[in-house]
Amino acid sequence: MTELMNLTQLQDTGLSVHEIRRRLRTGELHRIQPGYFTSSDSYRKLRPEEQSLLRYRALTRAASVPPVFCLASAALVHGLRLRRVPARLHTLTRPGEGTHNGYSGVVRHQERLPETDVVTIDGLRATSGERTLLDCARLLPFADAVVLADQAHRFGLTRIQLENRLPEWAGRRGVRRARRVLDAMDTRSESVGETLTRLLLAESGLPAPELQWVIVGRTGSYRADFAWPELWLVLEFDGESKYSDAAAGVIRNERRREVEIQELGWTVIRVGWHDVVRCPAATVARVEAALRRSVSTR
């Protein structure tokens, strides 16, 4: 069993209530939400994002009125990359329309919600891409919100379009934060790690790098995450999943291009999640030292 099933559907497969309870005790079954289950083996194989979406589907099936997911929960429904997967589900209803009571782990928000701000994706209702980005810019921690704002191009949205809607929340919490988020967004960042690295560099006061800088090597072009062209210095962010679906040949080609630009005189330094998230001060010091060395040799 890999799909989401309720108690009646489990019993229809021939399982008695006693057997269902036994499988829950032994860990063979995993309870997603009260009354909804899936096989534990299947659940463990899911990525955290997929596990959360399964919870969203269980809540949608259980609720008398299908919820509208908002904030980071809506971002997941839209397939956006998040800095961290939310532990709790966030839903949004209009004032006076009631809430989805009785479900633990559900944060219920009430705000004005035009129908144009609601979409349905694979059976799940969520705030639209534009509304999701604006709500997150207003209410999420700064870095988490910038990570999402950097993906505005996936909805065909620009900074100006998002800024033009902010007056709708005039006098409400988070508008000033949202303006700061939109000022910091840069859709050239192609991953969560690149966004966090860019923010770290900006906070450090180091010279601003160029993003997605193209360097032509002996056998092709190389697009650097960050570059200081006048200093011939490149900074690459290596995410844990950057090559998760790539063939070994693709990885070899990436390394080959790096060797080629080093032969041209470029210095390449690499950072990863641990460097940027766990050791930011040491990472800034490392980049600063590389910049100083590059200045002294130019």
Q: Are residues 108 and 178 in the same domain?
A: yes
The per-residue pLDDT for 3 is 86
Q: What is the pLDDT, as a whole number, of residue 273?
A: 95
> 172 with 274, same domain?
no
Q: Residue 203: count other Cβ atoms within 10 Å of its Cβ.
A: 11
Residues 160 and 245 in one domain: no
Vertex 7, ends 6 and 13: CA angle to 5°? 95
If asked whether residues 33 and 56 sit together in one domain, one would say: no
Q: Do 57 and 160 fall into the same domain?
A: yes
Q: What is the mean pLDDT of each run of 10 residues along the chain (298 residues)?
A: 84 94 95 93 95 96 93 98 95 78 81 96 98 98 98 98 96 95 97 98 96 89 94 89 52 78 92 96 97 86
Domain check: are 41 and 54 in the same one? Answer: no
Segment (H or E) for 258: helix 248-263
Q: At what angle do helices 129-139 and 175-184 cross, to 10 degrees?
A: 110
pLDDT of residue 2: 57
Residues 248 and 235 in one domain: yes
The predicted pLDDT at position 295 comes to 86
* pLDDT value of position 1: 44
Do 110 and 94 meet the contact criterion of CB atoms below 8 Å apart? yes
Task: Report the C-alpha dihedral over residues 195, 197, 200, 205, rounded to 10 degrees.
Answer: -110
Of 142, 162, 184, the position where a domain reaches its end is 184
* Distance, CA of 6 to CA of 38 (rounded, Å): 9
Question: 168: domain range?
Answer: 50-184
Helix residue ranges, H only, 127-212 = 129-139, 142-149, 159-163, 175-184, 192-204
Query: Number of folded domains in the chain?
Result: 3
Q: Give me the CATH number covering residue 237.
A: 3.40.960.10
Of 149, 166, 184, the residue that ends a domain is 184
Task: Report d(CA 212, CA 35) in Å as an integer.
Answer: 48
